[in-house]
């Protein structure tokens, strides 16, 4: 497996200037954690920006020194793969408000010398994208071959189109939406409430104490139910139990799996980031403004997966409808899969089969 593996490290870009948020608030000392793959060509015309989903990070592909776990889209990004790093220079950064190196609620507030916690300003998907633009500009890239991402990554793709379409040649929003439905908001809301119910959350002020692991774990469990599908759960767990005894203990395999996922998640994710980022998703809505201005020959590939009930098909078709109304070149593909919303991270082969020729069709 490691023969063709690429070894990467996460870099930090420190902004030299204050960073302005959509709200008008300014953040100081902002840092962006990012990784790159492949080489930027001389004319800086071969760059692709990958945007990660909600709880993802900058580590898209390859291996970091001392770790054995490949990046989250390693099967899609690499030499000869769907996003071919022999040809393209691929960038991915951790989102603003995150907890994997980019400034977020657990970062130190320069004014107090302590973590921001819930004093971190309210952020939006537009703010995340605006920070990514700083990174792209740092590389002196004027135009990206493509911006690509699934789920919340897809929202960032749509926000790039909405705000910086002149910096793009193409866009690939996957398993995403122009706006959350009330059902999507509702799932996020109960997740946030689980975190806030945990006494350790302490209004977000827990960084020097025990963190709200139980609440965050429940939030993650709720999330996992929505990331899978009825059928993928049936295939993976059915009604198998650890024991024949009926009891209040964790017994069904599905209960055990969710608990395991929840317990693991709290080791890597910050509860306040969970709250800030879900709010950014819930308030995201480009449905009224996107594509209104001229899109410079920008090409679109919109993908969704059949069993995804969290970001259902109609939300991808709503994007296509607006594109068609504006006569903007676009391709829509629904991939057959039983993996639910998670499919964009799992069913890579078919995804790559669509993405590779699409990217090759962009004249750089």
List interacting residues with a copy of itself (CB under 8 A): 23, 118, 122, 124, 179-183, 185-187, 189-190, 193-194, 197-199, 214-215, 218, 221-222, 224-225, 228, 230, 233-234, 236-239, 246-248, 252-255, 258, 275, 279, 282-283, 285, 309, 312
Query: Residue 44 or 313: which CB sits closer to a copy of itself?
Result: 313
Query: Residue 124 or 130: which CB sits closer to a copy of itself?
Result: 124
- The C-alpha atoms of residue 92 and residue 51 are separated, in whole angstroms, by 6
Query: Residue 122 or 332: which CB sits closer to a copy of itself?
Result: 122
CB of 259 to a copy of itself, least distance (A): 8
By CB neighbour count within 10 A (0-12 exposed, 13-18 middle, 19+ buried), where does 205 fall? middle
- The C-alpha atoms of residue 50 and residue 91 are separated, in whole angstroms, by 6
CB of 275 to a copy of itself, least distance (A): 7
CB of 73 to a copy of itself, least distance (A): 26
- The C-alpha atoms of residue 313 and residue 328 are separated, in whole angstroms, by 20
Q: Tell me, yes or no, if 165 is annotated catalytic.
A: no
Pseudo-torsion of CA 188, 270, 277, 261, nearest 10°?
Answer: -50
Q: Answer whether 155's CB lies under 8 Å from 132's CB.
A: no
The single residue of 93, 146, 151, 217 carrying the catalytic annotation is 151
CB of 267 to a copy of itself, least distance (A): 18
The single residue of 308, 337, 342, 347 carrying the catalytic annotation is 308
Q: Tell me, yes or no, if 327 is annotated catalytic.
A: no
Pseudo-torsion of CA 128, 130, 135, 140, nearest 10°?
Answer: 160
Q: Which residues contact 318 (CB under 8 A, 6 or more apart)?
A: 177, 178, 287
Residue 90 backbone phi and psi in degrees, to 5? -105, 130
42 sits in the region (left: phi over 0; alpha: psi -120 to 50; else beta) called alpha
CB of 150 to a copy of itself, least distance (A): 20
Query: Residue 6 or 222: which CB sits closer to a copy of itself?
Result: 222
DSSP state of 29: S
Query: Residue 86 or 230: which CB sits closer to a copy of itself?
Result: 230
DSSP state of 125: H
Q: Answer whether 95's CB lies under 8 Å from 128's CB.
A: yes
The single residue of 59, 180, 224, 341 carrying the catalytic annotation is 341
Query: Residue 92 or 290: which CB sits closer to a copy of itself?
Result: 290
CB of 129 to a copy of itself, least distance (A): 16
Classified as helix, coil or strand, 58 is coil
Terminal-to-terminal C-alpha distance of the chain: 32
Cβ atoms within 10 A of the Cβ of 40, count?
A: 17
Q: Tell me, yes or no, if 282 is annotated catalytic.
A: no
Give catalytic residue positions: 151, 308, 341
């Amino acid at each position: 497996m490691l023969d063709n593996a690429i070894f990467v490290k996460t870099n930090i870009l420190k902004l030299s200037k204050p960073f302005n948020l959509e709200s008008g608030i300014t953040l100081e000392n902002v840092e962006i954690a990012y990784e790159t793959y492949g080489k930027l060509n001389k004319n800086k015309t071969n760059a692709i920006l990958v945007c990660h989903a909600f709880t993802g990070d900058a580590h898209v592909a390859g291996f970091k020194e001392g770790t054995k776990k490949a990046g989250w889209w390693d099967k899609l990004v690499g030499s000869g793969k769907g996003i071919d790093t022999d040809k393209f220079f691929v960038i991915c950064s951790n989102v603003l408000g995150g907890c994997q190196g980019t400034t977020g609620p657990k970062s130190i507030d320069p004014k107090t010398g302590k973590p921001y916690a819930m004093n971190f300003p309210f952020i939006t998907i537009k703010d995340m994208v605006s920070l990514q633009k700083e990174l792209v500009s740092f590389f002196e890239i004027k135009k990206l071959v493509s911006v690509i991402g699934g789920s919340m990554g897809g929202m960032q793709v749509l926000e790039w189109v909405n705000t910086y379409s002149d910096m793009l040649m193409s866009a690939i929003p996957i398993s995403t939406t122009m706006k959350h439905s009330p059902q999507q908001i509702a799932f996020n809301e109960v997740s946030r409430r689980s975190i806030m119910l945990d006494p350790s959350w302490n209004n977000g002020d827990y960084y020097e104490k025990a963190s709200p692991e139980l609440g965050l774990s429940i939030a993650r469990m709720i999330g996992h139910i929505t990331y899978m599908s009825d059928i993928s759960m049936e295939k993976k767990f059915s009604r198998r139990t650890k024991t024949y005894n009926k009891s209040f203990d964790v017994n069904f395999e599905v209960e055990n799996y969710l608990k395991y996922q929840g317990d693991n998640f709290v080791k890597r994710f910050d509860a306040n980031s969970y709250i800030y980022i879900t709010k950014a998703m819930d308030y995201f809505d480009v449905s009224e403004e996107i594509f209104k201005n001229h899109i410079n020959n920008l090409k679109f590939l919109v993908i969704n997966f059949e069993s995804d009930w969290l970001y259902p098909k109609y939300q991808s078709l709503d994007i296509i409808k607006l594109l068609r109304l504006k006569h903007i070149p676009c391709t829509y593909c629904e991939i057959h899969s039983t993996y639910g919303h998670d499919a964009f991270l799992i069913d890579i082969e078919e995804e790559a089969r669509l993405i590779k020729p699409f990217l090759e069709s962009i004249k750089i």
